[in-house]
Amino acid sequence: MLLNSTGQRSEFDAVEEVTVKEPIIVPKRPKFFYGWVVVGISFLTLAIGGSTNGSFSIFYLAILKEFHWTRADTALAFSLSMLVFSACGPLVGWLFDRFGSRRIMPFGVIVLSIGVLSSSFISSLWHLYFCYGILMAAGVTHIGFIPNVLIISNWFFRHRALALGIAHAGRGVGTLILIPLIQYAIQTVGWRNAYLLLGGLVFIVLFPLLTIFQRGSPREKGLTRLGDPDSASKSEGMEKRYGDPSLAEAIHSYRFWTLGILGIIRAAGFSGLFVHAVAFMDDVGYPTILAATILGLAAIFRAGGGIVGGFFSDRFGRESTFTVFSVLTFAGTSVLIFSNPESPILIYIFATLYGLGSGGTSTISSSLQADIFQGKNFGLIFGVIQTATGIGAALGPWLTGLIYDTLGTYIPALQGMLAIHVISVVGIWIVAPRKVRPIGRAASKMPGR
């Protein structure tokens, strides 16, 4: 636990020990809550924008075969993109808090489209680093994970993790559809033309969608957040069990630093496996198109895992649900280590277990951060935490590639990822979001439940 400048325990760390009853009249709600439209838009945004960023592992192998660069040097483009993501995270969070989604997200679409289109013209490493590592990363940051988590957290208290899980499922569904299509495009028209097609898709679909229909806050529609405890009546006994911390107060919380450390190691493991998964399966002896299909299959299970994990964590708590889904992720990684073409069923088991587990833990992780740090400064706080995540995501692919270049195998890197899953479970129980967010009967007393 951290101490503040006076040597005392941070006031925010003690928030779970202080309850304040706030009687507020519950406003009437329309029969259809527009927040679910917002979730659908986030789903489509992540399906296209998120999958565009995630397609690197497919282009990675094609670029390697054309230019014969080392795996570490080529994977450094993804690492650079994560550093840009880290640098932009707090800025995007701050801009979101101040100006809302309808100003920052269309700008992100433009930058992302330029990055994807220009990637088709690369001829040297620095071209790859600039187009993918900087332009595409900056664009994705403005339309990707951070703004969509902030939007949905603004719209939902009750069913928050479920709503986030549905939105995050967009990336899985998008990956399932786009990754095999991109691989097919690479094989038929070449990776350069595949980038041109992808860039056009990003702009044509996302720019009008985010400009016209997306709403960053229920206030823009004259509504309030679904299940907002601030709207609970005193007669129902709802207790406000969360603070509204500033960034300075959050930084003096042990939860902030624990989540930051977990963000680094978890992102390193996930990004390292994701970027090198197709290359690993190719080395083992699986056909490239099958490896790409397995990656897409894992993505669809990740989508399902996010929804199921969110649903159960809303009802049974973040820690216990996170533990169950971490076990699935651990098991999936273990299966991948022992996979071989003589037992093709193993990579399907990997896709199922790893997809479900990683999807559930990702949704729960972002949900519990909203639980703990919710308030008018959440965008900035969340963006800063995502900086740590970006650092880990930057290190993961490069370290994994370096291990391969040095030892000639990915196995030691995969074994390190197993340890990360164990450490993550311990860390989530230390953070203890159950002491901040009401669950079970307490949550059931929210209006509209």
Does residue 250 form part of some domain? yes
Please tell me the distance from the alpha carbon of residue 160 to that of residue 156, in angstroms, as a whole number. Answer: 5
What is the reported pLDDT for 139? 92
Instruction: Please count the other Cβ atoms lying within 10 Å of the Cβ belonging to residue 196.
Output: 18
Does residue 55 form part of some domain? yes
pTM of structure: 0.69
In the structure, how many helices (H) and strands (E) does the chain have?
18, 2
Query: What are the two backbone dihedrals, phi and then psi, of residue 226, each rounded to the nearest 5 degrees?
Result: -65, 125
Q: Considering its fold, how many domains does the chain have in total?
A: 1
What is the reported pLDDT for 230? 55
Does residue 146 form part of some domain? yes
Summarised one tens digit per residue, pLDDT across range 166-187 is: 888 888 788 778 878 888 899 8
Given its phi and psi angles, is residue 7 left (phi above 0), alpha (psi -120 to 50 degrees) or beta? left
Residue type, 251: I
* Domain containing residue 331: 39-216+245-444
CB neighbours of 409 closer than 8 A, spacing ≥ 6?
403
Does residue 26 form part of some domain? no
What's the token pair of residue 255? 């939860």
Does residue 234 form part of some domain? no
Summarised one tens digit per residue, pLDDT across range 203-229 is: 999 999 998 888 877 887 777 777 766
What's the token pair of residue 52? 């565009």
Helices within 217-317 (DSSP H only): 247-251, 254-284, 288-316
Does residue 200 form part of some domain? yes
What is the reported pLDDT for 13? 52
What is the reported pLDDT for 165? 86
CATH number at residue 80: 1.20.1250.20
3-class secondary structure for 268-295?
Answer: HHHHHHHHHHHHHHHHHCCCHHHHHHHH
Q: Is 348 exposed, middle or buried (0-12, 13-18, 19+ CB in 10 A)?
A: middle
What's the token pair of residue 179? 């990754």
Does residue 223 form part of some domain? no
Task: State the virtual CA torsion across 85, 91, 95, 100 in degrees, nearest 10.
Answer: 20
Provide the residue-wise pLDDT of the chain in tens; the chain has 449 residues: 444 544 455 545 544 443 334 444 445 556 778 888 889 999 999 999 877 877 887 888 888 888 888 877 887 887 788 778 778 888 888 888 788 778 889 999 999 999 999 999 998 899 999 998 899 989 988 898 888 888 888 888 778 888 888 888 888 788 778 878 888 899 899 999 999 999 999 999 999 999 888 887 788 777 777 776 655 443 344 334 455 777 888 888 888 898 999 999 999 999 899 888 888 888 888 888 788 788 878 878 888 898 898 889 888 888 889 999 999 999 999 999 998 888 889 999 999 999 999 999 988 888 888 888 877 777 888 888 888 887 888 788 889 988 988 888 899 999 999 999 999 999 999 887 777 654 443 343 333 33
Site of tokens 């992808």:
198
What is the reported pLDDT for 201? 93
What is the reported pLDDT for 91? 85
Cβ 215 vs Cβ 101: under 8 Å: yes
Please tell me the distance from the alpha carbon of residue 74 to that of residue 337, in angstroms, as a whole number. Answer: 23
Partners of 9 in beta bridges: 3
Residue type, 441: R
Does residue 438 form part of some domain? yes
